[in-house]
Amino acid sequence: MIIMTKWDKLLIIFIIAASIIGIKVTANMATNEESMYLVIQLDGKEYKKLIIDSNTKYTTIPIKSDHGYNEVKIEGKKVWMENSDCRDKICEKLGIIEKPNETLVCIPHRLSVKLKTNNSDVDIVSY
Ligand SMILES: [Zn+2]
């Protein structure tokens, strides 16, 4: 009887462990699907690449180049351009991007900010 109980306990522990692992794997997969790459390009070259998801805290990325100054703001999966000293301010008027393949551009500063999904290849297109 004692041996049987031990085996029963082991079996229960095994089942619990397996289900926890199963839940964890599922949770990780869900998180991966939700996270995105933010790709910032300057002069057609990759300037910065970072992963963002809905838990990303409010962040400011200052971008200073020969062309001028921009600030890219991130909060969760929302990305927008602020405090640009470009002449047209179109980038600031573009508002918020939050979906894969959406892009912000500042043409006078030769700057682009693009959202990519985790599983899609990050291909660098030069402007
Ligand atoms: Zn601009």
79 vs 98: CA distance, rounded Å = 6
Q: Is the residue at 99 inside a domain? A: yes
Q: Number of folded domains in the chain?
A: 2
Considering only residues 114 and 23, tell me which one the structure prediction assigns the higher pLDDT: 114
Cα–ligand 1 centroid distance for 94 (angstroms): 9
Same domain, 105 and 48: yes
Number of Cβ atoms within 10 Å of the Cβ of 46: 11
Same domain, 88 and 42: yes
Same domain, 45 and 17: no
| Range scoring the smallest mean pLDDT among 14-28, 63-77, 113-127 | 113-127
Q: Is the residue at 124 inside a domain? A: no
Span 33-40, mean pLDDT? 85
87 vs 58: CA distance, rounded Å = 26
Cα–ligand 1 centroid distance for 100 (angstroms): 21
Provide the whole-model pTM.
Answer: 0.68
Same domain, 52 and 100: yes
Q: Which residues place a Cβ less than 5 A from the ion ligand 1? A: 84, 86, 91, 106
Same domain, 27 and 66: no
Q: For residue 86, what are the domain limits?
A: 36-117
Cα–ligand 1 centroid distance for 74 (angstroms): 17
Strand order in the sheet with 111-117: 45-52, 36-42, 111-117, 103-106
Cα–ligand 1 centroid distance for 91 (angstroms): 4
Same domain, 40 and 65: yes
